[in-house]
Homo-oligomer: A and B are copies of this chain.
């Protein structure tokens, strides 16, 4: 027997997953350079060396974090409940993801959390983040293209340009929400909807 992939009822996540989950929370709420292995260890009730066992260096941890997010994106965009939607509902599904971040203690998105400190990040992490952003932009561009072709979405310019603009605005809107409150996020998303939906 090679592996045993039993369907566990999502009860107790293992330490590795708990590390990733907590690190993700801290990354999106405080920034990558604002938490240490000690912080993680203390809150998880283990010793710092236990984190080093799973992720030898913080670079490894960071890269694993972005890689996991990229896997999630690829899985999400391929889900039947997403691919089966029309362009407007796909856009709504995307906006729901950002609104969900807002609801979770005003977390910024992965991109918004890492962009400012980008030059201090390990190269593999940089590469994963570039891929993440590129694939998400391409996905939305296709949604927008179909939406305009079928008359359910309206915008001028190329779908690629509009996609980059919309995603950039969403990333920034979560940052503005962090600095002020939820209001400007709602205002900005309202403006996006107003312009895109005829």
Which A residues form the contact surface with B (CB < 8 A)? 29-31, 33-34, 108, 111-120, 126, 129-130, 133-134, 156-157, 160-162, 164-165, 168-169, 171-173, 175-176, 178-180, 184, 187-188, 190-192, 194-195
Q: How far is the CB of A10 from chain B (nearest CB, A)?
A: 30
Q: List 10 A-B contacts (CB under 8 A).
A: A31-B33, A34-B120, A115-B116, A115-B176, A116-B116, A116-B117, A133-B180, A157-B191, A157-B195, A165-B169
Nearest CB on B from A142, distance (A): 17
- Other A-B contacts than A31-B31, A31-B120, A115-B175, 18 sampled, CB-CB below 8 A, are A29-B119, A31-B117, A33-B33, A33-B117, A34-B117, A114-B116, A118-B178, A118-B179, A126-B179, A157-B190, A161-B190, A164-B187, A165-B187, A165-B188, A165-B191, A168-B176, A169-B172, A171-B172
A164 touches B178 (CB 8 A): no
Residues of chain B with a CB closer than 8 A to A162's CB? 191
Q: Decide: A168 and B194 in contact? CB cutoff 8 A.
A: no
Q: Which residue, A108, A162, A184, A195, has most C-beta atoms of chain B within 10 A? A: A184
Q: Which residues of B contact A176 (CB under 8 A)?
A: 115, 133, 164, 168
Q: Which of B116, B187, B195 contacts A113 (CB 8 A)?
A: B116
